[in-house]
Amino acid sequence: MSDIGKLKEAFLNFTEASKSLEEYYGRLQEQVKYLTLEVEEKNRQLKELEAQNERNYRLIAMGEMAAKIVHEIRSPLCSIELYASMLARDLEGTQHLDMAKGISTGISSLNNILTNMLFFAKPQKPILRPVDICRLLGETVFMLMPMLESRGLRFIRGIGQGVSVRGDADLLKQVFLNILLNAIQATPEGGAVTGSCRNEGQSAVLEISDEGPGIEPQNIEKIFDPFFSTKEKGTGLGLAISAKIVQAHGGTIRVKSTPGHGAAFCLSFPENTNLSLSDIIMKEGIFS
């Protein structure tokens, strides 16, 4: 073979080798890109776990002190609540009835704070049974009607009824109470608080929204931290405990908010089960 022929053969071999290297380099780039995305996802999950562990640490650190405070306050508060209910009965039909109801409303707020502190001090393991979250939300709203009326607010029932999850009714009611109280306190006079529940695929979803000032973007990630509150007299425990309870049910809690346009809390629970028609008929009207 002539020198020119050998040179051509060498050039062809070099060209083929270059193509192979280029293809290999392309595959290597794709693999590096995939591994980079995987590492970023792992880092994101690690940050979430670190934040969750930090919240748990704070809850444990303050638990014993909170329990002692609650037990000291709750006894006299129960007596005040009893006297307030007796006073309301005696003032029925008089112009002073609203004053007695105002006392009861204040006691309800205080009792909710104490209940949150108890949950904070001694987290409870859910006892899972079928629970109609629409009915449970209706019962919670009924408890808060005096507060809604005193603030000149409306409660709007969204679409949905007969949505069932496996959950602990008492714990879930505390979650709904915490979120509803925040919504009521955030909404200006004449505004409305909205609640709805629905099925979404394999999940049951409950959403509560208000017409308040909304939540600043920098605070969205902080509102579920213990002791973080933008309210002057807030304890910063309600949403932290609510997040723990929802998490204990295998669910998630998310918040959507635009400053100046209110906030919406969306709770999602797995393994929803539709109630029978008879159950829905029996419970119709509670959530009015």
- Could you read off the pLDDT of 246-268 as tens digits, one per residue? 988 889 999 998 888 899 999 99
pLDDT bin (cut points 50, 70, 90) of residue 282 is: very low
Count the helix, strand and coil residues of the chain and give each as a percent rounded to the nearest 5.
60, 15, 25
Q: What pLDDT score was predicted for residue 288? A: 32
Is residue 114 within 8 A of residue 78, CB to CB? The reply is: no
Query: 49-61 pLDDT, tens per residue?
Result: 888 777 777 766 6
Answer whether residue 169 shows pLDDT above 60.
yes
Assign 231 to helix, strand or coil: coil
Region 153-180: what's the mean pLDDT?
A: 86
285 backbone φψ class: left, alpha, beta (φ>0; ψ -120 to 50): left
pLDDT > 70 fraction of the chain, expressed in percent and rounded: 82
Answer whether residue 231 shows pLDDT above 50.
yes
What kind of fold does domain 127-288 have according to CATH?
A: Heat Shock Protein 90 (3.30.565)
Which residues sit opposite 131 in a β-bridge? 165
Query: What is the residue type of 78?
Result: C
Region 33-41: what's the mean pLDDT?
A: 88
Report the predicted TM-score, pTM, of the whole model to 2 decimal places: 0.59
Give the CA dihedral 127, 132, 138, 139, nearest 10 degrees.
-40
Q: What pLDDT score was predicted for residue 268? A: 93
